[in-house]
A and B are shown apart, each in its own frame.
Chain A
């Protein structure tokens, strides 16, 4: 029983990271109707931004303090938001009027470009690095259940960021514009919405969330490398599809669900090394039986 509860905790901690990344996938899809496959790499860049920021920040604010951690997180989110805007501007904007497939292939190209550039000796190098301890690392034990401070922070930060995101999308002017562009870009443009600004903002916001996820992931798992975004990014993509791509609560639900399922599979004797296969199996099943995802609405494409 204790073990099952422990697995639930492990699964929720892993799932909330998937959820954060899935939010970025789903937001870009919601507005632009295309999958930004470079999103997982922005997640990696976020972790590296945190790695390089930790030292200069530690000079100003004493290391391993919550304030320092928050400052590093915020700065990394800002850097990645800018990167997201730049990626969109350079790689996707020129292709805005082209078929969706062109943009999708470009996204895969951007992803490979980032991964292999970062693996170069003069950039990050391919060897894993040790992520510094941003916050005091403590563990609490409750009758055999172990919860680490990093796990709690991951869960809390994810919830906070999700609330903030929902607020932005539902209650602010730019959020309304985002929903308008998602609904019908031409009509939104006619109503005076600057579509380019809205799209840039969407990319920036999604990338900032990916950066946060990257740092939370690195805090939890200590080592980072330039290819860390590949597998995690794909899992988050599965989570987004599972919850219903384009749907914000869906992405969060999908992420948590996937994390929990994967963790329980990983803990079972005999199938523990099939946890990735199970995650991608879920993707196939969802696409077969409920292509719009758990929370997605069935839509008919207008031709």
Chain B
């Protein structure tokens, strides 16, 4: 009896509260770190500002990706606003944190669209999380630009989803060619994160190209992202005595893999993709990561006019921090959006989508991009080697 009354009172209260608030809040969940999240549920962009949503892994095991990417995006927004905004309107960046967790992207992107009524969404770095958000943006017809998700499937979600980076088939091919021609590796092992679409995609394209180049695969093993013990797999890899090991993973795992490979006496070069690039890799891996190679989007030594300016401004804004590829991609994603809005003459979602799809020869920090039929950016990759705790620029490879 008592309980029934309590439930009744509770539901009545909830109903009243919902009426008062306007039901618009939905989805719930923790509020994101970063940018201000003043939630005005009415009116979209009638005022003097353009609301752009961003979702990034600001905490969690891929936090450095999200933070770099966010800083790049933030710098772009600040520069655009200082120069008078886009079409006379100021840009307001609303940032949500995905905590590097599966499931979280869907929640925060729904929040950005439903509560904040953003006109476009920028994010994420990790392909798995971009693929979670893409169908939501597509359904709501909100253009989404991923700064650094390289899995081909990301833009397959629909015609509202774009990216400013190259894709894994290209990155995998670049590393396979590097292993064959530069390292002269006859036999390689592949060590994949079975939990990550990014890692599996990269491994697949690397393998195809490397076999076509005439190489052999000594062994293929898997791990689960977040594992701490890789010695079991590395012992088997060592048993196949490869000339190099391709580890297309993310930095936290890769650092531990490098340490344990060295402990086991597996002293061959390890190769990876852009998921390696983080200061945490050298911080955790220390001398174990020295001499290994990875492909990525950008290096400060690629000295074009716009990238020099970016390097300078980024250092000024973030206490002398050197921007990495993810920061550059974050910056570029905002520039591409700004360019699209300018050419669309406003923020109408269909017009903006068409303008973004028509992006051609746009000069950005990470190169000159053209959006192709699959809404991916055609542009070049760089190969870096880890040297003395930093990255040494080796070569730049055009598609």
Q: How far apart are B239's CB and chain A's nearest CB, in angstroms?
A: 4
Report B-chain residues with C-beta under 8 Å of the C-beta of A3: 235-236, 238-239
Q: Given B60, B194, B238, B259, which contacts A222 in the complex, CB threshold below 8 Å?
A: B259
Q: Are B221 and A269 in contact (CB under 8 A)?
A: yes
Size of interface on B: residues with Cβ below 8 Å to A: 35
Is the beta-carbon distance between A222 and B256 smaller than 8 angstroms? yes
- Cα of A175 to Cα of B236 in the assembled complex, Å: 44
Cβ of A267 < 8 Å from any Cβ of B?
A: yes
**Closest B residue to A228 using CB positions:** B228
What's the minimum C-beta distance from A202 to chain B, rounded to whole angstroms?
28
Measured in the bound complex, the distance between the Cα atoms of B99 and A218 in whole Å is 23
A-contact 0/1 string along B221-240, CB 8 Å cutoff = 11110101101110110110
Task: Kindly state the separation between the CA atoms of A274 and B100 in the bound complex, as whole angstroms.
Answer: 23
Whole-angstrom CA separation of A276 from B229 in the bound complex: 12
Given contacts A223-B255, A267-B236, contact A121 B59 (CB under 8 A): yes
B-chain residues with CB within 8 Å of residue A11 when the two chains form the complex:
232
In the complex, the answer to whether B265 meets A141 with C-beta atoms within 8 Å is yes
**Minimal Cβ-Cβ distance residue in B for A223:** B284
Closest to A2 in B: B239
Does A286 sit at the interface, judged by CB under 8 A? no
- A267 near B99 with CB under 8 A, answer no
Which of under 10, 10 to 19, 20 to 34, or 35 or more describes the interface residues of A? 35 or more
Question: Which residue in A125, A148, A228, A262 is a CB contact (below 8 Å) of B263?
Answer: A148
Selected interface stretch from A22-30, A67-75, A126-134, A249-257: A126-134
Q: Are B223's CB and A6's CB within 8 A?
A: no
Cβ distance B264 to chain A, nearest Cβ, rounded Å: 5
Shortest distance in angstroms between B148's beta carbon and chain A's nearest beta carbon? Answer: 18
Distance of A127 Cα from B63 Cα, bound (Å): 7
Given A3-B238, A127-B59, A222-B284 contact (CB < 8 Å): yes
Query: Do B229 and A127 have beta carbons less than 8 Å apart?
Result: no
B151 on the A face (CB < 8 A): no
A180 in the interface, Cβ–Cβ < 8 Å?
A: no
A130-B284 CB under 8 A given contacts A148-B263, A269-B220: yes
Complex partner residue of A262 from B222, B232, B264, CB under 8 angstroms: B232
A146 CB to nearest chain B CB (Å): 5
User: From B259, which residue of chain A is reached at the shortest CB distance?
Assistant: A222
Residues of B within 8 A of A275 (CB): 224, 232
B280 within 8 A of A: yes
B392 beta carbon closer than 8 Å to chain A = no
A254 to chain B, nearest CB (A): 18
Asked whether B61 lies within 8 Å of A225 as measured between CB atoms, the reply is: yes
Question: B285 to chain A: closest CB distance in Å?
Answer: 8
Q: Is A163 an interface residue (CB 8 A)?
A: no
**Chain A 1-29: CB-based contact to B (< 8 A → 1; otherwise 0):** 01100110011001000000000000000
CA distance A127 to B239 in the complex (A): 33
Determine the distance from Cα of A126 to Cα of B33 in the docked complex, in whole angstroms.
13
Q: Closest CB of chain A to B175's CB: distance in Å? A: 22
Report the 7 A-B pairs with minimum CB-CB distance, sorted nearest first: A266-B232, A273-B222, A273-B194, A221-B228, A10-B231, A267-B236, A263-B232
- Given contacts A126-B59, A128-B61, A267-B236, 18 further A-B pairs with CB under 8 A are A3-B236, A3-B239, A6-B235, A6-B238, A7-B232, A10-B229, A10-B231, A10-B232, A14-B231, A125-B59, A128-B252, A146-B263, A148-B263, A217-B228, A225-B61, A263-B231, A267-B233, A273-B222
Q: Give the interface of B toward A (CB within 8 A).
A: 33, 59-61, 63-64, 99-100, 194, 219-224, 226, 228-229, 231-233, 235-236, 238-239, 252, 255-256, 259, 263-265, 280, 283-284
23 contacting pairs across A/B (C-beta < 8 A): A6-B264, A7-B232, A7-B235, A11-B232, A121-B33, A125-B59, A126-B61, A127-B280, A130-B284, A146-B264, A222-B284, A225-B61, A232-B228, A262-B232, A263-B229, A265-B232, A266-B223, A266-B232, A267-B221, A267-B232, A269-B219, A272-B221, A272-B223
